[in-house]
């Protein structure tokens, strides 16, 4: 499957490819993946997607003025509302809830742009983990290791697997502490977290209304930029590549470079060397205050409080329907007081201002996306160890959510290695500038 949506768009517009052929190719790839396809997708819209594809193809033949990307397949995370069906969020808890009466805003935006939604992707139950494990519907395995079962990363697990394994060209997930960037790093693709308020969250089941954001998965920065434009209400424009030479990049160290495993450390250092050789001005950047984040969030942080508030009615009436591992995580929100929550907000504002002053000296900041390569399923069999691994996976990505900055993960590993991601941060609200910088540096980061 061609996975560059700009190329697909050109072929569709020139009549060298049909939307129906693309949609059929997606469903064929999902079927060919067998059990992994079933675990990557919880819902498939085969009849509806094929009808939409046929309508688009006929419209092109009839000379209709269709959107540039009309006819391209896309998948969405299982927590976005689709009219007429229950939104499950990877859970059994919602089975008795009424069907959605309207689409999530981002679903409407994608469909107005002509994308054909082929299905809903699996995810960690209620998006509450960075590992991608789902005890209800099974865990889609990381497609980059065919010999040892490894997690895909979460919570947008199925979306990353579907793109990485060429079931769809692109997919949409959410990111509260790393749920787009962790699976992108583990699965060797590009994942983007925008500034939180950039993309409307109407019709998406929340994890933390304070930190949630909605972002895309793709195989290139260019494709991510197109989707970011559409998701944020634009027309689907790409960004220009920012020239490499003279870019000022702060290389964040300390808290975010502790506990790197050998594979991540080696790939990351090779990538920094490539950037320096291409004329990028790299400067060490230390932000000691980030080391306080575990203590700041020790009572559960925004996620703990926000998630508990939303789930409280279900925990009181349908607690047995939760995965026990996920249900236990809601306990962190119970103990927070109003004073704790207010203090957390004030602390966040102080640290954001401090970091913004340091960020302003650079065009972007770079750091490893995740400290480790994708863990094996066997490593998660012990609950204490799985909790520790989950926290380690979230360690770097959660910084971006706490600061509310745009952040993108781009693969930086060698072709014969397990995937490793390099992450770029931008200033709050500077999403398009960050995407332009990432596009300009993408081939160097990838080692191409």
Which amino acids are annotated catalytic? Answer: 77, 155, 179
3-class SS of residue 404: coil
Angle value at C-alpha 102, between 19 and 320, nearest 5 degrees: 105
Q: In what order do the strands lie in the sheet with 41-44?
A: 41-44, 116-121, 73-77, 170-175, 213-218, 190-193, 407-411, 421-425, 364-368, 248-252, 281-285
Percent helix, strand and coil across the chain, each to the nearest 5: 45, 15, 40
Longest dimension (CA), the chain: 63
User: Are 242 and 408 within 8 A, CB to CB?
Assistant: no
How far is residue 440's CA from residue 67's CA, in Å, rounded to a whole number? 26
Residue 397, CA atoms < 13 Å, CB-side half-sphere: 40
Nearest to 390 by CA among 380, 403, 381, 400: 380
8 Å CB contact between 232 and 199: yes
Do residues 189 and 218 touch, judged by C-beta distance below 8 A? Answer: yes
Going from the C-alpha of 353 to that of each of 68, 348, 350, 372, 406, the distances in angstroms are: 40, 9, 5, 29, 15
**DSSP character at residue 371:** S
- The DSSP annotation for 163-224 comes to HHTTSSSEEEEEESSSTTHHHHHHHTSEEEE--GGGS--TTB--S-TTT-EEEEEESSHHHH
- CA torsion sign, 33 to 38 to 40 to 43? positive
- Determine the Cα–Cα distance for residues 261 and 281; give it in Å rounded to an integer: 26
- CA distance from start to end of the chain: 21
Cβ-count burial of 6 within 10 angstroms (0-12 exposed, 13-18 middle, 19+ buried)?
middle
């Amino acid at each position: 499957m061609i996975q560059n949506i700009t190329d697909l768009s050109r072929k569709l517009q020139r009549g060298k490819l049909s939307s129906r052929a693309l949609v059929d190719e997606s469903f064929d790839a999902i079927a060919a993946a067998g059990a992994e396809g079933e675990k990557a997708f919880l819902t498939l819209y085969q009849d509806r997607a094929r009808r939409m594809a046929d309508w688009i193809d006929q419209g092109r033949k009839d000379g209709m003025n269709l959107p540039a990307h009309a006819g391209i397949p896309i998948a969405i995370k299982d927590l976005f509302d689709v009219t007429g069906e229950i939104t499950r969020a990877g859970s059994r808890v919602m089975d008795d809830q009424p069907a959605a009466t309207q689409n999530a805003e981002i679903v409407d935006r994608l469909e107005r742009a002509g994308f054909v939604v082929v299905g809903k992707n699996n995810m960690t139950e209620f998006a509450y983990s960075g590992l991608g494990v789902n005890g209800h519907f099974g865990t889609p395995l990381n497609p980059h290791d065919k010999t040892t079962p490894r997690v895909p990363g979460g919570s947008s697990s199925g979306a990353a697997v579907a793109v990485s394994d060429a079931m769809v060209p692109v997919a949409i997930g959410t990111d509260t502490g790393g749920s787009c960037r962790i699976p992108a790093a583990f699965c060797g693709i590009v994942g983007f977290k925008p500034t939180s308020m950039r993309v409307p969250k109407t019709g998406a089941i929340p994890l933390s209304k304070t930190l949630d954001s909605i972002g895309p998965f793709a195989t290139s920065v260019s494709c991510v930029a197109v989707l970011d434009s559409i998701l944020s209400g634009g027309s689907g424009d790409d960004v220009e590549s920012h020239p490499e030479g003279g870019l000022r990049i702060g290389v964040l160290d300390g808290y975010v470079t502790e506990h790197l495993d050998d594979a991540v450390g080696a790939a990351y250092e090779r990538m920094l060397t490539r950037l320096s050789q291409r004329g990028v001005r790299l400067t060490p950047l230390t932000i000691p205050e980030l080391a306080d984040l575990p203590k700041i969030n020790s009572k559960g942080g925004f996620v703990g409080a926000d998630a508990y508030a939303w789930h409280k009615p279900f925990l009181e009436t349908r607690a047995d329907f939760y995965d026990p591992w996920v249900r236990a995580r809601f306990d962190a929100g119970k103990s927070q007081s109003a004073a704790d929550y207010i203090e957390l907000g004030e602390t966040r504002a102080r640290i954001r201002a401090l970091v913004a002053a340091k960020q302003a000296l650079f065009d972007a900041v770079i750091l490893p996306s995740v400290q480790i390569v994708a863990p094996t399923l066997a490593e998660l069999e012990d609950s204490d160890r799985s909790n520790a691994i989950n926290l380690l996976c979230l360690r770097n990505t959660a910084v971006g959510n706490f600061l509310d900055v745009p952040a993108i993960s781009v693969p930086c590993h060698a072709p014969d290695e397990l995937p490793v991601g390099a992450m770029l941060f931008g200033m709050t609200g500077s999403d398009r500038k960050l995407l332009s910088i990432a596009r300009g540096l993408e081939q160097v980061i990838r080692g191409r």
